Chains A and B, each alone.
Chain A
Amino acid sequence: MSDVAGPSRDRFAAVTEEVTSIPLRYPEPRGWWILFAFALLLLMVFVVSAGALLRYGVGMWGNNIPVNWGLAISNYIWFLGIGHAGTLISAMLLLLGAHWRNALNRFAEAMTLFAVVCAGLYPILHLGRPWLFYWMAPYPSTMTVWPQFKSPLTWDFFAVLTYLTVSVLFWYIGIVPDLAATRDRARTRRQQVFYGLAALGWRGSARHWARWGQAYRLTAAIAVPLVVSVHSEISLLFAAGPIPGWSSTVFPPYFVLGAAFSGFAVVAMIAVVLRHALGLQDLVRERHLDLLGIFLLATGLMTAYGYWAEVFDVLYAGEKQELGTLQDRLVGAYAWSYWGAVVANFVPLQLLWFRSIRVRPLPLFLIALSVTIGMWLERYMLLVTSLYRDWLVSSWAEYHASVWEWGLFAGMLGVFLAPFLLFVRFLPVISSFEIKEVMAEDEEERHA
């Protein structure tokens, strides 16, 4: 932030004004309403699709033996993977002292929250009797039975619950100082009450900052291994099963890296859209787009290594069933999902080697979109190509998602978009106090 002209205290006030004026006097209400109406429409699709599911059961969906997971579980992994990038940007880069994160962390964390909510809804809806999902929780019931703690399904319950709680808390204590800044600038009674309550009476006391810093950093330090554990756990849903194409030790790192890859892609898309829509070009700069592009490229190449390692694994082991699954992936009925993933994930990605592409919003957005789609295809491919040809030829069957599954998917995008748009409209989307802190430090360094 150091190259903004002018004495720093004017710049402090300018940053505060720029960030807090968005929730207080939203600059583009018309565009926002159009998007929000679209999100509400998707949300209605969700209500209808989920209502049909609750009324008529999972028979509405296309999944059946042998492919009994289908879109519900592949979307679960996809959404949760997207969420992980928010935590990584926020927590990992905080600990590494990468100051550029401050322009991105707030909305990346919000993206995490809503992506985790979508992810968490999917396995619940997939349960068959979703209203009994609380049976996963260990509570002393009259049935005197307990959850099976040796099952990855139970691990998932705890992983997602923990991840959601930690993400909410981390995001909230990170936003409180900016809510206080918004409260102090609020003019209408309604805004004063809303931000006043939300800011918890934060007043920036040095004692408070000291304890806040301890809690914030410790939570960040804990959140990074948490991300790795959560997505590893999900990969164990696959890797712990005796299914060709799944039972592989490469899965945990492969899943975690793929998660970071897809998540950075979505963060890049949101960054491009927000900076354009809200005129945040001086806070989310070319440099940030550049760094996001580099991260995307790096995690993408690591994911590509995972693809290669998976194939190598199979060829090296030479197991007949595994070879069969590999063949199904490359040339089988779902080869489109394999090659679609390879092409969408890695071909446009190569453009990011060039800085001139990375700093341009539109190409970056399109490449990130391609990666988001590619990673969706990958999750679908991993799931379906392994399952549709079971060990027994007699139980081979193809899987085609029904219109209700697609409806639920579209609706789930509304479950993500609607609260995210509310966040953009009513809460400070950029961390102004962290930007000001870095400005002060830079200036002090220059004076020294």
Chain B
Amino acid sequence: MRKPAPRSPKPRNPKPRHPAPGKTMPRGEATLREPTPHTPVFGLMAEFSRPETLVDAIASARKAGFRRMDAYSPFPVEGAQQALGFEDNRVPWLTLAGGVFGAALGYGMQVYTNAAYPIDIGGRPLFATPAFMLITFELMVLFAVIFSIGGMLALNRLPRLHHPVFDIEAFHLASSDKFFLVIFGDDPKFDDGATRRFLEGLEPVGVALVRHTEAPE
């Protein structure tokens, strides 16, 4: 796994491969969804055999003015996210919200039930904060994790069992040892021929046109 503090790319590589920090895309663009079926095609896909080549390709595409793209890799590739200019911190915020919600629910539940049905045991306090803390903690953890993972899946629009990229023959290698870049068909600069020539200039293993999945008949 990547080392902790993954958001500060290490300067060990002298070649500047990522866009300068702070030069990320505007938020709305970065988190925008994939092309809708109204565009002519889903996009053009280029296949690479090394993670570094993929990151370089993303950087070149961004330099060439493309903005709407995504990369696919068998494992998290260091630098790909930064090269795409993708920045989305909704998952951490959702986790925090889940934690706050769970803690409030846990503590509130114990206060409410003790108030609703008071039982005096040897004159001990009805609202015993130290004793309540354990369940408060457990529910905080429970909801933080459910919000975190549930939020991750929802923001990623998963589960989604079929997807246009799955129609590409070579794409089954995206879970093994190949790295793919797709320039979306709704990119303002997208042009079937020119974009294909651009991608072929990056010396990929191959370039393929990704069509939209047909609607169920």
Contact = CB atoms under 8 A, between A and B. Distances in A.
Nearest to A99: B1
Nearest to A436: B75
B179 to A, nearest CB: 9
A144 B119 CA distance: 13
B141 to A, nearest CB: 5
Given A219-B148, A226-B141, A444-B52, A434 B75 contact: yes
Nearest to A198: B159
B114 A149 contact: yes
B135 A154 contact: yes
B91 interface: yes
B176 A184 contact: yes
A95 B113 CA distance: 38
* Chain A at the B interface: SS class: helix
B76 interface: yes
Interface residues of B, number: 77
Contact of B156 (A97, A148, A211): A211
Interface residues of A, number: 76
Contacts of B72: 203-206
Interface string A334-364: 0000000000000000000000000000000
Contacts of B166: 203
B117 A177 contact: no
B6 A441 contact: no
B155 A158 contact: no
Given A159-B138, A162-B139, A213-B2, A201 B81 contact: no
A215 B151 contact: yes
A116 to B, nearest CB: 14
A145 B116 CA distance: 9
A448 B76 contact: no
B117 A212 contact: no
B16 interface: no
Interface in B39-95: 49-52, 70-78, 80-81, 84, 86, 88-92, 95
Nearest to B95: A218
B51 A229 contact: no
Nearest to A233: B134
Nearest to A214: B91
Interface string A206-249: 11111111110111001101100100010010000000000000
Given A149-B135, A177-B175, A437-B2, A209 B88 contact: no
Nearest to A160: B138
Contacts of B110: 149
Contact of A201 (B90, B117, B138, B163): B163
A177 to B, nearest CB: 7
A236 B166 CA distance: 52
A102 B1 contact: yes
A444 B174 contact: no
B185 to A, nearest CB: 16
Interface in A410-448: 433-434, 436-438, 440-441, 444-445, 448
6 closest A-B pairs by beta carbon, nearest first, are A12-B177, A200-B159, A146-B113, A215-B152, A181-B175, A437-B75
Given A205-B70, A210-B76, 8 more contacts: A16-B74, A16-B176, A146-B113, A150-B132, A183-B175, A200-B159, A209-B77, A440-B78
Interface of A: 8-10, 12-13, 16-17, 94-97, 99, 102, 138, 144-150, 154-155, 158-159, 161-162, 165-166, 169-170, 173, 177, 180-181, 183-185, 196-197, 200-215, 217-219, 222-223, 225-226, 229, 233, 236, 433-434, 436-438, 440-441, 444-445, 448
17 contacts: A9-B177, A97-B2, A146-B114, A149-B131, A150-B131, A150-B132, A161-B142, A177-B74, A180-B175, A203-B163, A204-B74, A206-B71, A207-B84, A210-B88, A211-B91, A214-B152, A215-B91
